[in-house]
A and B are shown apart, each in its own frame.
Chain A
Amino acid sequence: MKKLIIITIFQLSIIAVFAQQNLTLYNMDKVLQSQFVNPSIDVQHKFHLGGLLIPIVGQLPPPIHFNYANNSFYYNHIFHFGEGSKADSLVLDLDLFYSKLKNTTYVRFETDFELLNLGIRLENMFLTVALTEKLRYGFSLPRDLFEFALNGNMPYMLESKPHDFKGFGLHFTHYRQLAVGASMNANDKFSFGGRAKILFGMANFNTDIKRLQLFTDPENYHMTWATDMKIQASLPIYFDYMLHQSDGHLDSVTFGINQQSIDEFTRDGGVSAATKYLLNLRNIGMGFDLGVRYQFSPEIEFYGSVNDFGFITWNTNPQNFVSKGEYKFKGLQVQIPDSTDFLGETAQQLVDTLVNTFGFELIETGYVTWLPTSIYLGGKYKFHDLLHFTALYRGEFFRKSYFQSLTLGVNSNLTNFLSAHLTYTIAHNYAGHLGFGLSARMGFMSWYFVTDSFTNMLFPQKAKNINFRIGCNLVFGYKKIKSTASIRT
Chain B
Amino acid sequence: MKKLKFSLIIAILGLIAISGCVKDNFNFDLWDREVNYEASFALPAIWGDIAFTDALKKFESSGMLIKNSDGYVSLQYKTRVSSNKVNEILFLSDQNFNGNIFSPEFNFSNFNSFGDTVSFAKTIDMPFSMFNPDAEIDSLTLKTGIMNMMVTSTFKHSAKLYITFPTVTKNGVPFKRTFTFVAGGGSAVSMENDLTGYKIDMTQTATGFNEIPVEMRLTLYWSGTTDNSGSLTTSADISNLTYSIMYGYFGINTLFFESDTIDVNLFKDENFEIERYHFEDPKLLVKYWNSYGVPSQFYFTHMVANSALDNIDYDIIDYGVGLPIGASNPYNVSYSSNPNQVKHDSLVLNKSNSNIAQILNKRPKWIQFKAKATTNPVGYSHNNFVTDKSLIEVEVSMELPLWGYIYNFNMRDTVEADLRDLFRDNNPVKRALLRIDIQNGFPVEAYSQVYFLDQNYLILDSLFHSNNERLLTAASVDNNGRVIDFSRKVTKIEFDTQRLEKLRTCKYVVYEAHANSTQADQNKLSKVYDDYRIKFDIGFEADLGISGNIDSLSNQ
A interface, CB within 8 angstroms of B: 75-76, 79-82, 86, 88-92, 94, 149-155, 157, 216, 220-223, 329-338, 458-461
What distance in Å separates the Cβ of B247 from its nearest Cβ neighbour in chain A?
Answer: 48
Residues of A within 8 A of B58 (CB): 336-338
| 28 intermolecular pairs with C-beta atoms under 8 Å apart | A75-B25, A89-B30, A90-B25, A90-B27, A91-B34, A92-B34, A94-B36, A94-B37, A151-B38, A152-B39, A152-B544, A154-B41, A220-B437, A221-B42, A221-B43, A222-B44, A223-B44, A331-B43, A331-B537, A331-B538, A332-B46, A333-B48, A334-B536, A336-B50, A336-B58, A337-B58, A459-B18, A461-B25
A461 closest partner in B (C-beta):
B25
CB < 8 Å neighbour of B45 from A86, A155, A331? A331
Q: Does B31 contact A (CB under 8 A)?
A: yes
Q: Does B57 contact A (CB under 8 A)?
A: yes
Residues of B within 8 A of A82 (CB): 32
Could you mark each residue 1-43 of chain B with 1 if its beta carbon is under 8 Å from any beta carbon of chain A, else 0? 0000000000000010010001011111011101111111111
CB < 8 Å neighbour of A334 from B22, B41, B42, B48? B48
Could you mark each residue 512-546 of chain B with 1 if its beta carbon is under 8 Å from any beta carbon of chain A, else 0? 00000000000000000000000011111100100
CB < 8 Å neighbour of B435 from A94, A151, A221, A333? A221
Other A-B pairs beyond A91-B31, A332-B45, 6, CB < 8 Å: A89-B30, A91-B32, A92-B36, A152-B544, A220-B44, A332-B47
Residues of A within 8 A of B34 (CB): 91-92
Task: Tell me whether B31 and A79 are in contact (CB under 8 A).
Answer: yes
Cα of A155 to Cα of B42 in the assembled complex, Å: 10
Cα of A150 to Cα of B435 in the assembled complex, Å: 23
Task: Tell me whether B30 and A88 are in contact (CB under 8 A).
Answer: yes
What distance in Å separates the Cβ of B283 from its nearest Cβ neighbour in chain A?
Answer: 26
Residues of B within 8 A of A220 (CB): 44, 435, 437, 537, 539
Cα of A288 to Cα of B26 in the assembled complex, Å: 42
A460 closest partner in B (C-beta):
B22
Cα of A461 to Cα of B539 in the assembled complex, Å: 43
Chain B interface, >50% SS class = strand
Q: Does B312 contact A (CB under 8 A)?
A: no
Task: Tell me whether B50 and A335 are in contact (CB under 8 A).
Answer: yes
CB < 8 Å neighbour of B35 from A92, A149, A333, A338? A92
B536 closest partner in A (C-beta):
A334
Q: Does B54 contact A (CB under 8 A)?
A: yes
Task: Tell me whether A334 and B25 are in contact (CB under 8 A).
Answer: no
B interface, CB within 8 angstroms of A: 15, 18, 22, 24-28, 30-32, 34-48, 50, 54-55, 57-58, 435, 437, 536-541, 544
CB < 8 Å neighbour of B44 from A86, A154, A155, A221? A221
Residues of A within 8 A of B46 (CB): 331-334
Cα of A88 to Cα of B55 in the assembled complex, Å: 67
* 3 cross-chain pairs, A with B, having the tightest CB-CB distances, nearest first: A221-B539, A152-B39, A331-B44
What distance in Å separates the Cβ of A79 from its nearest Cβ neighbour in chain B?
Answer: 7
Cα of A151 to Cα of B42 in the assembled complex, Å: 11
Residues of B within 8 A of A338 (CB): 58
Task: Tell me whether B42 and A86 are in contact (CB under 8 A).
Answer: no
Given contacts A82-B32, A89-B30, A92-B34, contact A154 B25 (CB under 8 A): no
Residues of B within 8 A of A91 (CB): 31-32, 34
Most central of B27, B31, B36, B41 by chain A CB within 10 Å: B41
Task: Tell me whether A155 and B40 are in contact (CB under 8 A).
Answer: yes
Task: Tell me whether A154 and B54 are in contact (CB under 8 A).
Answer: no
Task: Tell me whether A90 and B32 are in contact (CB under 8 A).
Answer: yes
Task: Tell me whether A216 and B47 are in contact (CB under 8 A).
Answer: no
Residues of A within 8 A of B538 (CB): 331
Residues of A within 8 A of B27 (CB): 90
A76 closest partner in B (C-beta):
B25
Residues of B within 8 A of A335 (CB): 48, 50, 54
Most central of B31, B44, B540 by chain A CB within 10 Å: B44
Task: Tell me whether B44 and A329 are in contact (CB under 8 A).
Answer: yes
A93 closest partner in B (C-beta):
B36
CB < 8 Å neighbour of A330 from B32, B41, B47, B435? B47
Cα of A123 to Cα of B50 in the assembled complex, Å: 88
B23 closest partner in A (C-beta):
A461
Task: Tell me whether B42 and A216 are in contact (CB under 8 A).
Answer: yes
What distance in Å separates the Cβ of A341 from its nearest Cβ neighbour in chain B?
Answer: 15
Task: Tell me whether A154 and B40 are in contact (CB under 8 A).
Answer: yes
Residues of B within 8 A of A155 (CB): 40
Most central of A76, A329, A330, A335 by chain B CB within 10 Å: A330
Residues of A within 8 A of B15 (CB): 458
Cα of A331 to Cα of B54 in the assembled complex, Å: 20
B33 closest partner in A (C-beta):
A92
Given contacts A331-B46, A331-B538, A334-B47, contact A89 B31 (CB under 8 A): yes
Cα of A81 to Cα of B28 in the assembled complex, Å: 11
Task: Tell me whether B41 and A153 are in contact (CB under 8 A).
Answer: yes
What distance in Å separates the Cβ of B50 from its nearest Cβ neighbour in chain A?
Answer: 6
Task: Tell me whether A92 and B31 are in contact (CB under 8 A).
Answer: yes
Cα of A459 to Cα of B34 in the assembled complex, Å: 25
Task: Tell me whether B26 and A461 are in contact (CB under 8 A).
Answer: yes
Residues of B within 8 A of A216 (CB): 42
Most central of B45, B47, B536, B544 by chain A CB within 10 Å: B47
